[in-house]
Structure 1
C-alpha cells in the first residue's frame, strides 16, 4: 500500500519540480547568494508530506529524495509558519535515521507535540533500533542496526559505506562488547596509514573507558620476539607492522580481523603485502571473523573470492545520513573573479545552474582558485582543501592565513603555534597559519603535531585545512565543504594537474546539516577551545620532556 503510494508520488512531475526549486533555493542560501523566492512555504509543506510517504518506500532513490527535500525545506523555513520540526522528525524516524533527530533542539523536542498515532509509531520503531553498549542505550540507523546484528552473530562481512554511515561507531561498540568478559582474545585492526593508527587507537581508548572487565591493551607498534603477547589486546597496525608481529611470534593469531579501507588491497606492493598478511592470519586461525570495510566499492564479492571464503555477507549502505551536494564552480572571468556555480545534486544528476558570484579578486592561477574561492564560499564553516602535494598545501595555507590576518588568535591556536615552533622550527609555515585558523596536513608532519592539528579541526579552532591525499586514507575529520581543483590521485601524496577550469566543491551544504544553531555552536566551540588548548599544551610538555631526555641521555 505505502509502496504504491510512494511510486505515485515519485511519478508526479509536480513533486520533482518543487523538489528542484527548494533544493536550488537552499543551495543558493548556503553559498551566500540571493534566494529568488521561487520556493515558498506551500512548496515546503507539500514536499514534507511527500517526503513522509517516500520515507516508507523500499526504493533507495525515494528514500534519498525524502531526506534531501525534508532537510532543505526545514533549513529554509524552520518552524516560523508551520511545524516543520515535527514533520522532519516523522521523516527521519521513518528513514530510521534516529541519530540525526537529536542534533537540532527543536526537532529533538518535537515528539511531545506529535499526534498520538505518529508518536506511537516512533516509539515502536525506536525500540527496534535500540542497543546497549558499555551500559549505555543508543539508537542506531537502519544500516547500523543491520551491521550490528551481523557482527554479534559472528558473521564474516564485506561492507561498503561512507564515513557518514557511522560504521566506525558500530565497529568500536562491537569490539567493546566483544571484550565484555574475562576470556583471552586478540583482534587485529588493519589500517593503511600511521595517521589512521593514531585516530583509531584514540577512538578505541575512549570507547573502552566504560568497560567493567579488564580493559584490553591497544597495541600500535610491532612486538619483538622477546616481548610476550598480551592475552587480551586490539592490535591497530598497518600491514607492515602486522607482518613484523607475525614474524616475531609464530603463535600470534586473531579471533577477529578488521580490514579498514579494504579497497587498498589493490594498491600495488602494499596491497600485495596486505593480502599476504590477511592470508597468514586466516591460516593461523581459519575460524577468524573478518570484516572488510570500504567507503565505496561495488564488487564486494571480490574479497570472498580472493581469500577463498564462501560465507562472506555482503551489504552496502544506500541510506541517506547526510545531504551531500556536488557543486562545480566555473571561472567565467578570471580577472574580475566572476564565478558561475552549478550543482550535480548528490553527484548523479546533470548540472544545473545555482548562482553567479563576483569575488572581486583575480582567480587566474590554480593557487588563486584554491585560495579565494574557498575563502568566500567557506566563510563560517569547516573546510578541507585538497592540494597537489606538501609544497602547494603550505603555499595555499599561507595565502589563506594572510586573508584571515584580522582574526584574533585564541588560546588553543596560540598553543598549536607554540607546538609547531618546538616540533619543527620557529620559521615553519604552520607557526603563523594556525594563529588565524588555517592549517595544512601531510604525512611528513611530526606525529604529535599532526594529531594536534586534527584535534583543532575537530574542535572548530581550525576551519580551513589544506591537505594532501593523506586524508583520503581514512582519517575522519568534520567538514562542511571540500574544495578540489581537477583532482586525480596519481601517487601517495598528490593529485595530478589537469587543464580543467572548474573547481569542485563537495559537499557544499549539509554534511553537518543538523548541527546546533550558530549561537549554540559558538558556545560549544568555546568549551572545546579550552579543552583543545589543554590537549595541545600537554603535547607541548611531552615534546619538551622528550627533547630533554634526548639531550641528557
Structure 2
C-alpha cells in the first residue's frame, strides 16, 4: 500500500474509533477526512483494482484494505456513510472482495451480512452471493458453482472461470460498470477455484468426500472453502501421511474444522481404528460435544466425549466397541485407556489441541506422560498431530513425537486481525485525563484519542442532594471497566484479570462495575445492549436460585454482564458462554477460563492485569506466549472483521508489546522437566535419596508417579520379571520430552524415579493385584491406603441399600480426609482455615442431597465465593477422584475374599460427581440433562423415582414436563426450557455425559 494511502487509512481508522467511542467532534488533525470522503473512497477502490494486477505480498494488507473500504462505505453501522456518492451495498461487496483476496473469507461473509443485495446488478449479485454464502442462492452462476462443489465436479468451476474471463474481456468494450463487475467476479471465482473445499482435499472430486462436503456446506454459515492455514496443512500431506505432524496455527484459524477433516479422512481410511481429540479443558470438550461430536455422528462416525473423572463412568465405556472418535481431557483419557486396553490398541490417531499446555503444571505433567505412554505402546505409537498457536520450538516437540522436518506446518494467518492500544494517564487530581493510544508499537500509525476518559465521564448528579459529584477514577481498575463500557458499542467486550478473587481479581472487577452502575455516569451501560430482557432475566433467576441474589456474579448478570472464572460450576459457565456467544450479553469479566479455549465473538479485550498474584501477594508476570493466546481471542472469524486489545495498565505495556510486535515468545520445555528440576533441588538440599514413600507422600508429585505407573502397568506383561520391568522403565524415562532437554543429573534422577515406580508396579504384580489396577483404571499408589484404611471402615460392604446413606458418606470421607491430596485441597480451598471433618460431612451430605451451592455456603458459614472454590477444588475434583479410585479398588479387594460390594456403594461416586440424591436423578444427569437442579427435581418425582432404565426415565420425564406449571417453581424458566431441549435431543440416548 502506498505510503500516502496508508497514512490516510490509519487516520480514517483513528477517526472510526473516535466516532465509535462516542466523541462527536473529531480531533483537528483528522477533520480533513470529513471533507475528502469521496476522494478517500475512490482511492481505496482504485487501490483494490490496482492490486488485482499486482497482489499484496502480505495478506494483512488485504485485511486493512477491506476494513478501510467497509468503514468508508459506512457498511454495517447505524448511521449513513459520512461520504457522499457511496452506495453501501457496492462498498460492502468491494470490501468483502478485498478480505477474500487476502484469505479472510469469514470477514468477507460478515461484511456482507448487513448489505442489501437487491440494489445490486446481476453480476454484482453473483459476487455478493459467492462471498456471503446465503441460504437461498438467487444467482444461477453461484448455484451452479456450489452444486459443482457438492457433486465434486470441478470441471464446472473451471468452465465458469474461463467464461468469466471472456465476459470480462468483452465487457471492457461495452460498459465500464459491467466490466468492473466481471473483473471482480472473475478474480473472486479464480480464488474460489483454488480454495473451495473440493479443490483443496486430496482427490477432492471423489465420492469419498461426499459426507464431509455435505456437512461443510449444510452448516450455518456454510463452509465453501478452506482458510489459508487449513490449506497449508492439508497440502503439506497432513491427511494422507502416517507420520506425526505438528501445526502452529493461530487462535481462530480453523483448528476445529481441520481436525474434523482429518478425523473424517483417517477413520474412513482405517475403518477398524479409533481416533482421539485431546482437549485441555472440560469447557472445550463440552462445546465440541454439541458441534464436532454430533457432526461426526451424522457422517456415520460414532463419537463421544469423556471429560469426567479419572475412572471412566458406565456411560463413558458404554458401546466403546462401536465408538470411532473420542473427545477427551487427558485425565479422562488416561483412565479410559487403563480400563479398556483393547480400546487403547485400536487408537491410531491422536490430535493434541492446545499443546502448549505441556508447560501447564500438573496438567502439563499428565499430558506429557500420557503422550509418552502412547509412544511406548507395545504395538507401536499412533500418529500424533500436535496443535498449538504459541509454541515457538514446535520443531523440537514434533521430533519427539516422531515427526520430521517436512511435517511441521507454521501459519501466521488469523481470520480476524487484532489492533492494540494502551491507556495513558496524564495530569493529577481534578485535571486527570486518560488517553487511548492506538497502535503504540507502530510509530508511523500511532494516534492518541486524548481525553478518552476524563472527569466529564465520571460526573453525575446525586439524586438525594442534587449536587454534581465526581466518581473517583484514578485506579487502573476503574479505568479498565470504563474503557470496556465505552467499547460496548463496537461489539462484545471481555475484561481479563489474571486472578479469580480479591480486589485485583475478576470478582473485584465485577464489584467495580456494579459500583459504577450505582451512579448515573454518562457512559454506556451493559444493559443498553441487551436485546432480550426476558432471556437475561431467566438467567438471573437461575443464578439467584443456585448462588443467591447477593452473589456478585448474580448482580453483575442482572446488570447485563457476565462473570466467568474456573471456580464457577461447568453448567453455569456453559450458560454464560452461550449468552456471550450469541451476544445476548456483551460484557464479560473473566480469567483465562473464558479467554482461552472457548470460541467467543470478542470484539474488544481489555487487559486489566497481565500479572498474577500468588498467595503471598507477590506478582508474577504472565508469559508472552500466554498473553499471545489471550489476545488471539480478540476478533473472531465470522463474528468481527478485526479486534481491539486495550492494555489498561501502561506500566504493564512492556509485557504486552512483544506480543503486539509478533515476537515468538518463550519456548515450551514441559512441566515435567520443571518438576524434575525442583525434585532434584529439594532432594539435594535435604541430602535425601528418592524412595517410593517420599514420592507418594508429596502431593505435587502425584501427577508424575500416576502417569509413570499407568504407562508401566500397560507394559507389565505376565512374563516380565521385576528386573526386566525396571529396565523398560529406565528406557521409558528417556522417551519423555523432558529427557531430550535435561542435563545429566536430572536425566539420571528421572531414570531413578521411573525405576522406583517399576519396583512398586512389580510388587503389585507379584501380589496378583495388577489386574485390579488395569480393570478399574485406578492409581497404583491408592492400593495400600484402600486395603489398610478404607476396607476396615465397615465390617460389611454389601449391606448398604442406598448410595445416599449418611453412614456410607461418613465412612468414605473419614478415609479420604487423611489422604494428603484431600487435606491439601481442603486447606487451599478454605484459605488456611479448614473445617472439622464433621462440619465438612454436613456440606457433603447437602451436596449429594441436591441442595444448591448457596445453601451449602449457608450451612458451612462461609461466603459463596469460598464455597465455589470448595466445590471446584475439593468436592468435584480431588475428593471425587479419591472416592472413585478407592471404591474401584475396594470392590476388587472384597472380591478377592469372596465378599461383595453393594451396588449402592458402587453408585456413590456418580452421586458425588453429579450431586444428586436418587438413582433416577443420576440417570438423568449422566444421560445428558445439563442442569443439576432439573435432574434432582425430576429424580425425586413419584412418577420417576422407581425407574432406572435410561430409555424409560427419559421417556417418562418428557411426558412429565408437559405440565410446565408444575415444574416452573422448582426449576425456573431457563432450566425448564433447557431441560425440555435436552430431553428432546436424541443424542442423550447415545452420547455420554
Q: Report the TM range for the smaller structure's normalisation.
A: 0.7 to 0.9
Q: Does structure 2 retain, via aligned residues, the 8 Å contact 1:189–1:258?
A: yes
Distance 2:409 2:425 in 1: 41
- The within-5 A match list for 1:99-248 is 99-103=106-110, 104-105=112-113, 106=115, 110-112=124-126, 114-131=180-197, 133-135=212-214, 136-137=216-217, 138-149=224-235, 150-154=237-241, 156-176=244-264, 178-179=266-267, 183-208=271-296, 210-211=298-299, 213=300, 215-221=302-308, 222=310, 224=312, 227=317, 229-248=320-339
Distance 2:407 2:633 in 1: 34
- Which of the numbers 327, 342, 345 marks the counterpart of 2:437? 342
Residue 532 of structure 1 corresponds to none
Q: Does structure 2 retain, via aligned residues, the 8 Å contact 1:190–1:238?
A: yes
Distance 2:275 2:560 in 1: 38
Secondary structure of the corresponding residue to residue 217 of structure 1: strand
In structure 2, the CA distance between the partners of 1:480 and 1:307, relative to structure 1 (3 Å rule), is: same
The answer to whether the aligner puts 1:423 opposite 2:520 as a matched pair is no
List per-residue Cα deviations over 1:476-504 (Å, max 9, x = no partner).
Answer: 21111100124135779x99488xxxxx9
- Which stretch shifts more, 386-395 or 431-440? 386-395
Distance 1:55 1:288 in 2: 45
- Which of the numbers 530, 537, 544 marks the counterpart of 1:414? 537
- Which of the numbers 304, 307, 312 marks the counterpart of 2:398? 304
Residue 266 of structure 1 corresponds to 359
Residue 319 of structure 1 corresponds to 413
Residue 6 of structure 1 corresponds to none
The answer to whether the aligner puts 1:65 opposite 2:65 as a matched pair is no
Distance 2:190 2:618 in 1: 49
Secondary structure of the corresponding residue to residue 198 of structure 1: helix
List per-residue Cα deviations over 1:455-474 (Å, max 9, x = no partner).
Answer: 11111122111111223441
Residue 523 of structure 1 corresponds to none
Q: Does structure 1 retain, via aligned residues, the 8 Å contact 2:350–2:383?
A: yes
Residue 394 of structure 1 corresponds to 507
The answer to whether the aligner puts 1:96 opposite 2:103 as a matched pair is yes
Distance 2:586 2:554 in 1: 16
List per-residue Cα deviations over 1:76-124 (Å, max 9, x = no partner).
Answer: 3347634433432432332233333222243977454753233123223
Distance 1:376 1:470 in 2: 24
Distance 1:54 1:37 in 2: 28
In structure 2, the CA distance between the partners of 1:470 and 1:146, relative to structure 1 (3 Å rule), is: same
The answer to whether the aligner puts 1:84 opposite 2:175 as a matched pair is no
Secondary structure of the corresponding residue to residue 341 of structure 2: coil
Secondary structure of the corresponding residue to residue 139 of structure 1: coil
Residue 442 of structure 1 corresponds to 565
Report the structure, 1 or 2, having the larger strand content.
1
The answer to whether the aligner puts 1:37 opposite 2:31 as a matched pair is yes
- Which of the numbers 40, 44, 49 marks the counterpart of 1:47? 44
Secondary structure of the corresponding residue to residue 191 of structure 2: helix
- Which stretch shifts more, 471-480 or 140-149? 140-149
Q: C-alpha displacement at 1:348, in angstroms? A: 6.0
Secondary structure of the corresponding residue to residue 419 of structure 2: coil
Q: C-alpha displacement at 1:365, in angstroms? A: 2.0
Q: Does structure 1 retain, via aligned residues, the 8 Å contact 2:527–2:560?
A: no
In structure 2, the CA distance between the partners of 1:458 and 1:38, relative to structure 1 (3 Å rule), is: same
In structure 2, the CA distance between the partners of 1:460 and 1:258, relative to structure 1 (3 Å rule), is: same
Distance 1:299 1:53 in 2: 39
Q: Does structure 1 retain, via aligned residues, the 8 Å contact 2:526–2:586?
A: no
Distance 2:526 2:249 in 1: 39
- Which stretch shifts more, 242-251 or 100-109? 100-109
Aligned length: 513
In structure 2, the CA distance between the partners of 1:510 and 1:471, relative to structure 1 (3 Å rule), is: closer
Distance 1:193 1:202 in 2: 15
TM-score computed with the length of structure 1 as normaliser:
0.80
Q: C-alpha displacement at 1:430, in angstroms? A: 2.1
- The within-5 A match list for 1:523-534 is none
Q: Which has the higher contact order (CA 8 A, sep 6+)?
A: 1
In structure 2, the CA distance between the partners of 1:495 and 1:260, relative to structure 1 (3 Å rule), is: farther
Residue 624 of structure 2 corresponds to none
Secondary structure of the corresponding residue to residue 326 of structure 2: strand
In structure 2, the CA distance between the partners of 1:375 and 1:158, relative to structure 1 (3 Å rule), is: same
Distance 1:275 1:217 in 2: 23
The gaps in structure 1 that reach 5 residues or longer are 1-9, 499-503, 517-537
Q: Does structure 2 retain, via aligned residues, the 8 Å contact 1:157–1:291?
A: yes
Report the structure, 1 or 2, having the larger helix content.
2
In structure 2, the CA distance between the partners of 1:354 and 1:375, relative to structure 1 (3 Å rule), is: same
Residue 16 of structure 2 corresponds to 26
Distance 1:141 1:247 in 2: 38
Secondary structure of the corresponding residue to residue 439 of structure 1: strand
Q: Does structure 2 retain, via aligned residues, the 8 Å contact 1:363–1:369?
A: yes
In structure 2, the CA distance between the partners of 1:491 and 1:296, relative to structure 1 (3 Å rule), is: farther
Q: Does structure 1 retain, via aligned residues, the 8 Å contact 2:302–2:325?
A: no
List per-residue Cα deviations over 1:132-173 (Å, max 9, x = no partner).
Answer: 635143222222223344443246332222223222233234
TM-score computed with the length of structure 2 as normaliser:
0.47
Distance 1:491 1:281 in 2: 35
Q: C-alpha displacement at 1:454, in angstroms? A: 0.5
Q: Does structure 2 retain, via aligned residues, the 8 Å contact 1:482–1:507?
A: no
Two-structure CA RMSD over aligned residues (Å): 3.8
